[in-house]
């Protein structure tokens, strides 16, 4: 077989969908086995790459399975809901909270805190979560609510709204770093939970992607602020735009007092 044909087979294996990880590992093992007797240097290099990829995939599955240990500790609960928020720090836009109940022992490769995942993969993971989750939802607190009651209270409201929109009632809430007041569902607060729990990581992914999509829409309404790229955070260009044009409707007045006091554009 020509080297280019072997390369093509290898690329087809790597192109398998994220959730076909078991097949991908199996196909790589077979690929290495089938061509191990080919002593051409170029083929041996491909086989070395294939073995490295195989090991990487296995390590990734092991990492995600380790993130499931927290859920397994609470295996007596049928519906474990992970909760996480995004958007505490931006100067504009809402805070959003995700709530996700995953099937038990359901492995999603590359699932992690949304900040640790590249944009394209983040949206791939979002689609997987929406397709396979028992139920999931996103709750929001607007910039005006943040200004009126403060970011922490608004954060709690967004989380409560997300839970209230789930199609089944959770038996347990796993929450990144905080404890939601006035909830009648048992809670476990986990520091850096979005890197330690698959449920919280999944909530982080859907909250992040939904907020980013909303900020893309706001960018069309208020193009001078660069919301498509900064998603409301205080980049130098964003701050300069606020000073130049004044705040718009979605700027958090309680966050931009050091920059301007003008009325919205």
Last residue of a domain, one of 177, 197, 214: 214
**Residues 207, 119 share a domain:** yes
- The verdict on residue 246 lying in a domain is no
> For 204-229, what is the mean pLDDT?
97
Q: Evaluate if residue 58 carries a pLDDT over 90.
A: yes
> For 225-245, what is the mean pLDDT?
95
**Residues 174, 44 share a domain:** no
User: Distances from the Cα of 56 to the Cαs of 89, 123, 157, 195, 240, in angstroms?
Assistant: 34, 21, 40, 18, 43
**Residues 85, 54 share a domain:** no
- The verdict on residue 205 lying in a domain is yes
- Alpha carbon 253 to its chain centroid, in Å, reads 28
Q: Evaluate if residue 265 carries a pLDDT over 60.
A: no
Question: What pLDDT is recorded for position 261?
Answer: 56
**Residues 198, 97 share a domain:** yes
> For 132-152, what is the mean pLDDT?
98
Model confidence at 260, pLDDT cuts 50, 70, 90, reads: confident
Residue-wise pLDDT tens digits, 12-39: 999 999 999 999 999 999 999 999 999 9
Last residue of a domain, one of 67, 84, 112: 67
**Residues 51, 146 share a domain:** no
> For 91-100, what is the mean pLDDT?
98
Residue-wise pLDDT tens digits, 150-192: 999 999 999 999 999 999 999 999 998 899 999 999 999 999 9
- The verdict on residue 50 lying in a domain is yes
- The verdict on residue 199 lying in a domain is yes
Last residue of a domain, one of 26, 44, 67: 67
**Residues 111, 40 share a domain:** no
Question: What pLDDT is recorded for position 263?
Answer: 56
Q: Evaluate if residue 100 carries a pLDDT over 90.
A: yes
pTM recorded for the entire structure? 0.91
> For 92-121, what is the mean pLDDT?
96
Structural domain span for residue 180: 69-214
CA atoms within 13 A on the CB side of 261: 1
- The verdict on residue 86 lying in a domain is yes
Model confidence at 262, pLDDT cuts 50, 70, 90, reads: low
**Residues 183, 131 share a domain:** yes
Say what percent of the chain tops pLDDT 90.
Answer: 95
- The verdict on residue 239 lying in a domain is no
**Residues 170, 115 share a domain:** yes
**Residues 149, 138 share a domain:** yes
């Amino acid at each position: 077989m020509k080297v280019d044909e072997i390369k093509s087979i290898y690329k087809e294996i790597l192109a398998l969908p994220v959730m076909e990880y078991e097949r991908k590992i199996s196909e790589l093992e077979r690929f290495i086995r089938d061509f191990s007797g080919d002593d051409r240097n170029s083929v041996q290099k491909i086989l070395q790459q294939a073995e490295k990829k195989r090991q990487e995939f296995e390590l990734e599955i092991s990492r995600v399975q380790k993130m499931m240990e927290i859920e397994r500790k609470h295996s007596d609960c049928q519906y474990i809901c992970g909760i996480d928020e995004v958007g505490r720090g931006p100067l504009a836009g809402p805070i959003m909270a995700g709530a996700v109940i995953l099937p038990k022992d359901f492995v999603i490769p590359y699932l992690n805190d949304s900040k640790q995942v590249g944009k394209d993969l983040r949206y791939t993971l979002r689609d997987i979560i929406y397709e396979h989750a028992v139920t999931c939802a996103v709750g929001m607190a607007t910039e005006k609510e943040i200004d009126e009651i403060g970011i922490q209270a608004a954060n709690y409201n967004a989380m409560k709204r997300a839970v209230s929109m789930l199609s089944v009632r959770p038996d347990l809430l796993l929450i990144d770093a905080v404890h939601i007041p006035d909830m009648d569902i048992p809670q476990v607060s986990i520091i850096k939970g979005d890197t330690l729990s698959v449920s919280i990581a999944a909530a982080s992914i859907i909250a992040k992607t939904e907020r980013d999509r909303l900020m893309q829409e706001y960018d069309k309404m208020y193009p001078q602020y660069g919301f498509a790229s900064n998603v409301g955070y205080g980049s130098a260009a964003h701050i300069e735009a606020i000073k130049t044009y004044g705040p718009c409707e979605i700027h958090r007045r309680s966050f931009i007092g050091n920059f301007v006091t003008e009325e919205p554009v």
